[in-house]
Structure 1
Amino acid sequence: MPNQYHNFNNQNLESHILFYGEQACQPDEYFEGNNLRKNDVLYYIMSGKGTFTSSGHHSVKLKKGDLFYIPRSQTCYFQADHDEPWQYFWIGLAGPGTNQMIKASNLPNKNFLRQIQNTKFFTTLHKIYGILNKKTSLLNNIQIASLTYQLFYHLVNEFPDHPPVRKTPKVDQYQIAIDYLNKNYTDPTCNIVELCNRLGVSRSFLYALFRKNTKISPQKYLMQLRMEAAKKELQNTTHNLKQIAHTVGYGDEFTFSKAFKRYSGVSPNVFRGN
């Protein structure tokens, strides 16, 4: 291998956590951010529900599993529900690279993400918050710094910046959704939350779109793609269940087998033996 020397420019992607906290809100309790923040803040809703509005965006109803974002230098308003007030934790981020990395994702398009529980982004966010609540130590501080950059990696990777397509005809949105699922169902990261983020639509909107065009939900459509592909694998190959599971978008054979039995009424091994 020839000798090599290269300069590396990380474009000053410095970012660090400045503050964090958690609050169980009272019914109708609200926060009105008229004083512009100098930092970016992520709020994850642990339970309950409420209303969120930020500068330049419509008011939205959010609930457990959703995340909302307060960009630096923007006003905001959020209020807990009267019957099911929310509880959330927040992480405030500082550094010249923070805003740049967030802008590379789909998050600033609406300043919220729905139902992120099954994403690597949330797993990392939750892990960071857990370590922040432990006793301060050098090792913990190093781990938090490392996880902070992993957080941005998963945010940009799982929620990439896509131009919103809400204004395109519904038939085009449906075709985009179908094409995405047909092309990506073999990927374990392909899911309905990711599809909604790519389209810039809510799950209820996508559900109505699929019910109108296919008579089934988008989740059932994705399941159908995977299960019919699995049937062909079981009938036409000698691959074991682990191999087949990975081929049709499942992380392990146990989850795949349970899903297959729910779909087909029999286990994969019984189906293959018939």
Structure 2
Amino acid sequence: MPNQYHNLSNPHIESYILFYGQQKCHPNEYFESNNLQKNYVLYYILSGEGTFSSNGHHTVNLSQGDLFLIPRNTTCFFKADKDNPWEYLWLGLAGSDTKKIIEASNLPNKNFLRQIKRTEFYSILLELYEMLNKRKSLLTNLKIASLTSQFFYYLVKEFPNHPPVRKTPKNDQYQIAINYLQKNYTDPNCNIVELCNRLGVSRSFLYSLFRENTNISPQKYLMQLRMEAAKKELQNTTSNLKEIAHKVGYGDEFTFSKAFKRYSGVSPNVFRRN
């Protein structure tokens, strides 16, 4: 490698955790922000459910595994369910670059994300919150700084900013959904919740969209793609069940075999013999 020397131009990004906390809410306990906040606050729902609305957006029902954002200088309202009140943790975000980072993600389009558990962002969020609660030292502070950078990195990487799809005609939305499932059904992380997140629509809206066009649910459509692909593998290849399971989007042979028998009425081995 030849000798090198480079100046790194303005590598510093100023964004950090200003405050944090956790709360188990009482039934119907609510928070209403009429006094505009100076900082962004992220809430991750650990358990239970409730409703959330922010200025310019409809009220939505959110539950365990969802995340919502209270933007700075924005009024909002959120309320715990009366029967299954939520518990959440929160992170207050500050720094001159925080606005730019948030706006580079998909959060501002709806101010919430559904079911983030199968993401690196979620893993880093929990690790960061755990580290924030440890006794502070130089090492923990360095780790917090490192995790905070990863937290913002995966927010933008896994949830990049894109216009809400729901503003497009229904036929276009349906075709986008079909194309996504056909292209990604071999990925175990491809599921209906992930599809809803990418489209920016609710599960009920997506369900009605598929019923109108295919007369089956999106979940059944995804299973149909996987099972028909599995049948071709069983008929035309000598691949074992573990290999076929991975090829059609299942993490293990057992789950694949159960799903195949429900769909076809016979086990994969019987189908292959016949």
| Shorter-chain TM-score tier | 0.7 to 0.9
* 1:244–1:4 distance in 2 versus 1, CA, 3 Å: farther
* 1:159–1:265 distance in 2 versus 1, CA, 3 Å: farther
For residue 166 of structure 2, give the secondary structure of its aligned residue in structure 1: coil
RMSD: 2.5
Task: Using the TM superposition, give the Cα deviation of residue 242 of structure 1 relative to its aligned residue in structure 2, in angstroms.
Answer: 4.0
Moved more, 202-211 or 71-80: 71-80
Retained in 1: the 8 A contact 2:19–2:91? yes
* 1:30–1:261 distance in 2 versus 1, CA, 3 Å: same
* 1:110–1:5 distance in 2 versus 1, CA, 3 Å: same
* 1:147–1:246 distance in 2 versus 1, CA, 3 Å: farther
Q: TM-score, normalised by structure 1?
A: 0.87
For residue 18 of structure 2, give the secondary structure of its aligned residue in structure 1: strand
- In the alignment, the residues of structure 1 paired with residue 213 and residue 190 of structure 2 have an alpha-carbon distance, to the nearest angstrom, of 21
Partner of 2:244: 244
* 1:5–1:188 distance in 2 versus 1, CA, 3 Å: farther
> How many residues are paired up?
274
* 1:54–1:182 distance in 2 versus 1, CA, 3 Å: same
- In the alignment, the residues of structure 1 paired with residue 248 and residue 13 of structure 2 have an alpha-carbon distance, to the nearest angstrom, of 37
- In the alignment, the residues of structure 1 paired with residue 202 and residue 235 of structure 2 have an alpha-carbon distance, to the nearest angstrom, of 37
Q: Please give the per-residue CA displacement for 1:46-78, whole angstroms capped at 9, x wherever unaligned.
A: 222222122222222222222110112222221
For residue 166 of structure 1, give the secondary structure of its aligned residue in structure 2: helix
Partner of 2:155: 155
- In the alignment, the residues of structure 2 paired with residue 239 and residue 224 of structure 1 have an alpha-carbon distance, to the nearest angstrom, of 20
Task: Using the TM superposition, give the Cα deviation of residue 269 of structure 1 relative to its aligned residue in structure 2, in angstroms.
Answer: 4.1
1:89 maps to 2:89: yes
Q: TM-score, normalised by structure 2?
A: 0.87
Retained in 1: the 8 A contact 2:118–2:189? no
Q: Which amino acid aligns with 2:203?
A: R
Partner of 2:219: 219
Query: Could you list the runs of 5+ residues in structure 1 that have no partner in the other structure?
Result: none
Query: Could you list the runs of 5+ residues in structure 2 that have no partner in the other structure?
Result: none
- In the alignment, the residues of structure 1 paired with residue 72 and residue 190 of structure 2 have an alpha-carbon distance, to the nearest angstrom, of 31
For residue 154 of structure 2, give the secondary structure of its aligned residue in structure 1: helix
For residue 225 of structure 2, give the secondary structure of its aligned residue in structure 1: helix
- In the alignment, the residues of structure 2 paired with residue 151 and residue 11 of structure 1 have an alpha-carbon distance, to the nearest angstrom, of 17
Retained in 2: the 8 A contact 1:50–1:61? yes
Partner of 1:27: 27
Task: Using the TM superposition, give the Cα deviation of residue 10 of structure 1 relative to its aligned residue in structure 2, in angstroms.
Answer: 6.5
